[in-house]
Amino acid sequence: MAKKAKVQFECQHCGYISPRYLGKCPQCNSWNSLVEVKIQDTTDRRVRTTWTGEKTKPTKLAEVVPKKEPRVATKLEELNRVLGGGVVPGSLVLIGGDPGIGKSTLLLQVSQQLAEIGGKVLYVSGEESAEQIKMRAQRLGSIDTEFYLYAETDMHEIAQSIQELKPDYVIIDSIQTMTQPDVTSVAGSVSQVRETTAELLKIAKSNGIAIFIVGHVTKEGSIAGPRMLEHMVDTVLYFEGEKHHSFRILRAVKNRFGSTNEIGIFEMRSDGLHEVANPSQVFLEERLAGATGSAIVVAMEGSRPILVEIQALVTPAMFGNAKRTTTGLDFNRVSLIMAVLEKRAGLLLQNQDAYLKAAGGVKLNEPAIDLAIAVAIASSYKEKGTEPTECFIGEIGLTGEIRRVNSIEQRVKEVQKLGFTKVYLPKNNLGGWTAPEGIQIVPVSTLSETLKKVFG
């Protein structure tokens, strides 16, 4: 008599496992998300092996000899910065982003560049045919002989092809289309995503192959699949931007080989993605001279200072409670600053609607932008514009004090580079450095003092 297969029920949102069906997931509280999954026989588990067939064995830490393999730098310096200096052999990198944002275009460009450098690249696509990828590759540039295409979704076939081809780099586009034949659930389910990623992780670590994985995102903006997917990989990158704008931002939210504060900025054109060498100039080029409700801040994105225009529109509320809207800025931060402006600077904002945004589509979330937000709000409220050559840097405390910020010298140098002549900054940041020539430093200690010096 055939042995009956054991089953369990798995949540498709968070990966919670239950021995019986439940209408509501106890972990993420989503309804009707548990699906039946057959439990596989684990007696034939494969151990991690290399191409030579050697099995991994326990080794004393003192006897481990680290491999000094240098990073492989691509021709995209923005990507190298976000990765921490280049592609690390044996790393597993996950790239997420909205549909049509340019994830496949970015990886196709990187694949071509890595092939030109001398590496062997295998591009596995589960969403497009080889002919479709060839058409896009021709539009993007040259095609190298060491660039291999493989339109397949079966993970066993892909692993076999990797073992035969022995590539240096593998691109998986996308992880939600890949399937493990041993897993009974459909492609894109929690079980399939977890098992295929685990297989790719084993291949990357055992054989020193750098693998890039494309991941779909949910409507909330997070990568689809179980949360453990981001814990399994070495690096998690998000490709952000608006479909109707040409600029794209590549941001690291996890990186075992570098900083998570770096960003890379690209411009999407007909022949692919191009690096933006001077993002500050891009963010400021459309600023109106003499406009009210505008202030310039120097934000630090990792080790890079970027000048961004913060815009505010303050208008009387017609009825009911005043409305607050933010784009690219933290809503709670803006609400806090407006409360301090009302309490410490005497601005009556409780009956005013406020709309704020960081121009250019960039997202800012560091304390040093507080002073620029306050000045932009006050400028719109008072109907007085700021000078086009002045900039504002500083964190605001609840008592109205202007607190010191980090990397002040780098910020001021970036201001001087773009032709600004006056910088308002915390008084406690003075000392220990010398301001560049042609820059007037205005030290401030309180918010009310700053507004008096700016608007008189």
| 158, 163, 164, 167 alpha-carbon torsion, rounded to 10° | 90
What is the Cα–Cα distance from 15 to 37, expressed in whole angstroms? 12
Whether residue 93 has pLDDT greater than 50:
yes
Residue 102 annotated in ligand binding: yes
What is the Cα–Cα distance from 356 to 312, expressed in whole angstroms? 4
The pLDDT tens digits for 213-256 are 998 887 666 776 667 788 889 999 998 877 667 888 898 989 99
The arithmetic mean of pLDDT across residues 432-448, rounded, is: 92
Neighbouring CB atoms inside 10 A of 305's CB total: 21
3-state secondary structure of 205: helix
Residue 370 annotated in ligand binding: no
The arithmetic mean of pLDDT across residues 279-301, rounded, is: 86
Reference 291, options 312, 321, 277; nearest CA is: 312
The arithmetic mean of pLDDT across residues 412-420, rounded, is: 89
Residue 15 annotated in ligand binding: no
The predicted structure's pLDDT at residue 378:
96
The arithmetic mean of pLDDT across residues 340-347, rounded, is: 94
Per this entry, what is the length of the chain? 456
The predicted structure's pLDDT at residue 69:
65
The predicted structure's pLDDT at residue 2:
45
Question: What percent of the chain lies above the pLDDT cut of 70?
Answer: 92
Phi and psi at residue 340, to the nearest 5°: -65, -40
Six token digits for residue 274: 């191009």
57 burial level (CB within 10 Å; 0-12, 13-18, 19+): exposed
What is the Cα–Cα distance from 306 to 288, expressed in whole angstroms? 19
The predicted structure's pLDDT at residue 363:
85
Say which CATH topology domain 281-455 has.
Ribosomal Protein S5; domain 2 (3.30.230)
Reference 424, options 441, 407, 437, 447; nearest CA is: 441
What is the Cα–Cα distance from 80 to 362, expressed in whole angstroms? 20
Say which CATH topology domain 75-277 has.
Rossmann fold (3.40.50)
Residue 162 annotated in ligand binding: no
Whether residue 346 has pLDDT greater than 50:
yes
The predicted structure's pLDDT at residue 282:
78
Q: Report the sign of the C-alpha dihedral through residues 251, 252, 258, 259, in that order.
A: positive
Whether residue 434 has pLDDT greater than 70:
yes
The pLDDT tens digits for 97-135 are 888 888 999 999 999 999 888 889 999 999 888 888 888
What is the Cα–Cα distance from 141 to 75, expressed in whole angstroms? 13
Six token digits for residue 65: 């000899």
Residue 100 annotated in ligand binding: yes
What is the Cα–Cα distance from 90 to 71, expressed in whole angstroms? 11
SS3 content of the chain, % helix, strand, coil (to 5): 30, 30, 45
Average pLDDT score over the chain: 87
Residue 101 annotated in ligand binding: yes
Domains 75-277 and 281-455 equal at CATH topology level: no
Which residues have C-beta within 8 Å of that of residue 291, sequence separation ≥ 6?
385
Domain ranges, ordered by start, for the chain? 7-38, 75-277, 281-455
